[in-house]
Amino acid sequence: MNIGHHNTDEKVFIIAELSANHNGSLDTALKTITAMKESGADAIKLQTYTPDTITLDCDSELFTISQGTLWDKRKFHDLYAEAMTPWEWHPILFDHAKSLGMEAFSSPFDTSAVDFLSELEVPAYKIASFEITDIPLIEYTASKGKPIIISTGIATLSDIEAALEACKRMGNDQITLLKCTSAYPAALEEMNLLTIADMKKRFGENVGLSDHTMSLSAPVAAVALGARVIEKHFILDRRMGGADSAFSLEPDEFKAMVDAVRDTEKLLGKVTYELSEKSLKSREFSRSLFIAEDVKAGETITAANVRSVRPGFGLAPKYLSEILGKSFAANASKGTPLSWEHIG
């Protein structure tokens, strides 16, 4: 699938998520994007919302977080007011990313955000995990005709099916499903990455991973299982603090992850039984039949005077049982690779 200038079939698409890690500073956001590029990210992703487009400013306990998260006891509205990326920053951040050769897009959280991002000509849209049940939002986003990346962190099987159907009703089949565990940070034993291969087989869509672990192993394992998109939160320095700092990678960690993913791509290669030039050369170190002692014409071939040894310049060992008991056609010295010409 093509996302901007990037073909995910040719190269895993690695997204650095800014989220709230600008901590309210445009300068920090710009510096973070530069560090993302230097760390090997292909794209930056923002989140496009205001507190009022994502929740209500309400004192009811229903609007206070209380689920054992990093954000417990905080009102939704207050948290999102702190974490949002100002909309007027978007064109500045996107232009900076593009100047560095990166793709830049975002997660819209309502239709006004979709329209705003459409005006900025984003190459794709991301549906966040908690929005996967908002079918009208998915339909509207898909109707823009751009690739749509959908996280499945809170999704049941039927939720995923409904989201896919919503996209396809809008004539959009440019879909990537991201395996995601909506815990912050996520425990390794909760990741269940085998689901990635099943998603690819079950739904026939491009697949990837939105990763909230602090492990570099999860993206590597995901790519080995077929992931073509990797998304990770990025922060200049976790000591900055902020809403998402606890599960975000610093530049050196992100770069190590990117390097590991790129190594994994090389390791996976393609399905082939053809030998490389180096492997063909290495066949010289395989075993073959050699004359193991000086012999004379007419002498019987035995397991003592012909042996299977390295290197591989003689007859293949599979012929040993066939030639035992036959006789030598001519004199030969120890260390001679056995050939059919030696056998009478």
CA distances from 199 to 146, 178, 192, 203 (A): 21, 9, 12, 6
Query: E strand or H helix at 73, and its extent?
Result: none
pLDDT tens per residue across span 293-309 = 999 999 999 999 999 99
3-state SS string over 59-113? CCHHHECCCCCCCCCCEHHHHHHHHCCCHHHHHHHHHHHHHCCCEEEEEECCHHH
Query: Strands (DSSP E) along 52-109, which ranges?
Result: 103-108
Beta bridge partners of 337: 290
- Tell whether omega for the bond before 185 is within 30 degrees of 0, i.e. cis: yes
Token pair of 341, please? Answer: 């010409």
Q: What is the pLDDT of residue 74?
A: 86
For 10-49+84-268, CATH gives: 3.20.20.70
- The answer to whether residues 295 and 305 touch, using CB atoms and an 8 Å cutoff, is yes
Q: Determine how β-strand 306-309 pairs with β-strand 288-291.
A: antiparallel
Residue 2 binned pLDDT confidence (cut-offs 50, 70, 90): very high
Show me where the domains of the chain are located. Answer: 10-49+84-268, 277-342
As beta bridge partners, residue 7 has: 2
| Angle, CA 94 vertex, CA 88 and CA 99 arms, to 5° | 135
pLDDT at residue 47, as a whole number: 97
This prediction has a pTM of: 0.89
Q: Could you read off the pLDDT of 40-60 as tens digits, one per residue? A: 999 999 999 999 999 999 989
Q: Which CATH number is 277-342's, of 3.40.630.30, 3.40.50.720, 3.90.1210.10, 3.40.50.2300?
A: 3.90.1210.10
Q: Which two tokens stand for residue 40?
A: 């090997």
Q: Residue 242 pLDDT more than 90?
A: no
3-state DSSP percent of the chain in helix, strand and coil, to 5: 40, 20, 40
